[in-house]
Structures are given as structure tokens and as C-alpha cells.
């Protein structure tokens, strides 16, 4: 086995590859390699700086350390979706090419045996492959029906490159995710788009619903219960010349004429008028 070297790890996988027939699979594979060729060319990666391994429904790319990760990220975020869009414009509905992508880094060794291909060995590569195959990434792509790809990056890529906000790379366009795999959980970052950052909701208050792809939907407005109009009087307000005493509760409706005395006697004049029937309601 050769000595391990630090590599940038790029993994790409075709969505729903196994559900297509052999002819469509061949078309998809050619389209995938064309997209990879043009993406890496834009990132400035020379053929001598690349190792590629065909995985049937995807590809493993290892890049040497002198290929800037910022250039690779910019190409993945901008050019790759456009290349996929161009490819799909000319393809039938059964040959639409959509990709799950993972960008990571770490130590990888090559242990190729005689008469075989492949032979890559490395813990960081294993974790990147598990992230690529995780349900969280599959769900994110499935929920983005109008998009051609979804990108996840490892935590070292985020901490070492993305969070510093290099040109064309916005940290707020990535959301932290914890992916469950067979050996535990992985911390990674999912690209959620270039919209403005949204502050996390207050857990004590209702807020917008958030999907696995990072989309938000406004929570439904609270509905006040329907009821009749209720008036609460405190003190002794005067209503159109009438006197109301004490704290009273009433509902709208009906008609009131003359002086009305509620809540007890306020003075002798009102007592006399109440006794003689003046100011009665109807």
C-alpha cells in the first residue's frame, strides 16, 4: 500500500440511476462525466492533479492539495448546476440527470492489487461515501424538484474554507446537519441556496416550519374565537348624557332611551326619577 496523501475528495452520484433501463443509464453516465470534465476544468484542475474512479452510477474524484478548494467550491456552486440544466434541456423526461454531491478532504491511500481496479483506502473517504448515501442528502434532493443537484460538505471543508467567506462563497448559504450512519453520526453542512440568512426561531414561540432542504413556510395566523361584542365599563362613564355607575358588562344590540342608571344610586335626583319610572328602558 502506498503512503496516504492529503486529498480533496469529490463524490458525485446520479439520482434514481437503478430505476432506468440500460440505454438511459449509458446516456446518464456519459452526461455525468461531461459535467465532471467541465467542472474540474473551470476549477483549474489539470489531468495530472486528478484521480478518478468510475463507480457505475457515480464517480470518485481525488484532487491533489495544490488545487484550491475555493475554486472547486465556486465551480460546484455555480457552473455544475448550469451544466446539468443544459444537459436536461435536451434530454427526455426519463433521462433527466440530477446529482448528489459531497466535497470533503482527508488522508487517502491507494492499495491497488494486481489485476484489479480501485483500491482506495481511508477513513475520511469512508465518511464522505456514507454522507453521499445518507437519507438526509437523498431527501434534500427529492424535495428540490426544480433543482438539478444538492451539495453537502464535510465539517473540515466548512471550518477551513467556507466560514471565512472567500469570494463567491457565502457561509450563510450552508446549514449544519447531523447525518445518521451505521457507525453513528456525522457532522456536515448542506448547501441551502443563496437567500438571506434566517435567524433560528425562538423555541418558546411558534415559528415558520422548516423542511429537510431548509425551506420555510409561515405558520398559520392565530384565529380569534367568534363572539358577540362585549363592553367592559370601569368607573362611572357618561354615555350620551346617561349615567352608568359601577363596573358593568353588556352586549350590543337593542335600543336604550332616556337616562339609564346601572350599578346603584348615584344621587337623589336619579333615585327619584328611577322610582317614578322616568328613564325606564324599552
Q: How many CB atoms lie within 10 A of CB 212?
A: 17
- 34 touches 80 (CB < 8 A): no
User: pLDDT tens digits, residue range 51-67?
Assistant: 999 998 999 999 999 99
Where in the chain is CATH 3.30.70.1230? 5-194
Span 211-235, mean pLDDT? Answer: 48
- 42 touches 75 (CB < 8 A): yes
Helix/strand/coil for 177 = strand
Residue 113 has pLDDT above 80, yes or no: yes
Q: How far is CA 167 from CA 73, 157, 161, in A?
A: 11, 15, 11
- 262 touches 236 (CB < 8 A): no
Highest mean pLDDT among 122-126, 193-197, 278-282: 122-126
166 by Cβ neighbours in 10 Å (0-12 / 13-18 / 19+) ranks as: middle
Q: How far is CA 231 from CA 89, 249, 252, in A?
A: 65, 6, 8
What CATH code is assigned to 5-194?
Answer: 3.30.70.1230
Q: Give 203's strand partners.
A: none
CA 50 – CA 45 distance, rounded (Å): 7
User: pLDDT tens digits, residue range 134-190?
Assistant: 999 999 999 998 899 999 999 999 999 999 999 999 999 999 999 988 878 899 999
Question: Cell digits for 165?
Answer: 467567506
> Among 32-46, 90-104, 242-256, whose mean pLDDT is lowest?
242-256
Amino acid at each position: 500500500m502506498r503512503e496516504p496523501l492529503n486529498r480533496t475528495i469529490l463524490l458525485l452520484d446520479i439520482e434514481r440511476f437503478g430505476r432506468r433501463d440500460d440505454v438511459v443509464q449509458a446516456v446518464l453516465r456519459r452526461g455525468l462525466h461531461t459535467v465532471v470534465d467541465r467542472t474540474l476544468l473551470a476549477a483549474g484542475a489539470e489531468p495530472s492533479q486528478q484521480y478518478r474512479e468510475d463507480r457505475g452510477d457515480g464517480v470518485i474524484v481525488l484532487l491533489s492539495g495544490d488545487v484550491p478548494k475555493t475554486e472547486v467550491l465556486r465551480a460546484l456552486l455555480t457552473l455544475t448546476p448550469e451544466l446539468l440544466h443544459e444537459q436536461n434541456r435536451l434530454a427526455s423526461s426519463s433521462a433527466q440527470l440530477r446529482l448528489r454531491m459531497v466535497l470533503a478532504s482527508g488522508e487517502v491511500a491507494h492499495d491497488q492489487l494486481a489485476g484489479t481496479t480501485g483500491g482506495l483506502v481511508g477513513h475520511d473517504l469512508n465518511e464522505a461515501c456514507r454522507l453521499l448515501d445518507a437519507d438526509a442528502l437523498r431527501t434534500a434532493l427529492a424535495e428540490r424538484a426544480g433543482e438539478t443537484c444538492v451539495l453537502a460538505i464535510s465539517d473540515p471543508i466548512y471550518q477551513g474554507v467556507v466560514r471565512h467567506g472567500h469570494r463567491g462563497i457565502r457561509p450563510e448559504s450552508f446549514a449544519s446537519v447531523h447525518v445518521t450512519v451505521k457507525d453513528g453520526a456525522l457532522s456536515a453542512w448542506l448547501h441551502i441556496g443563496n437567500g438571506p440568512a434566517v435567524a433560528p426561531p425562538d423555541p418558546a414561540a411558534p415559528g415558520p416550519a422548516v423542511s429537510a432542504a431548509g425551506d420555510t413556510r409561515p405558520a398559520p395566523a392565530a384565529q380569534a374565537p367568534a363572539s358577540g361584542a362585549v363592553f367592559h365599563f370601569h368607573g362611572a362613564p357618561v354615555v350620551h348624557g346617561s349615567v352608568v355607575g359601577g363596573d358593568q358588562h353588556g352586549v350590543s344590540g337593542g335600543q336604550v332611551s332616556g337616562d339609564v342608571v346601572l350599578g346603584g344610586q348615584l344621587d337623589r335626583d336619579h333615585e327619584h326619577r328611577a322610582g317614578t319610572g322616568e328613564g325606564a328602558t324599552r
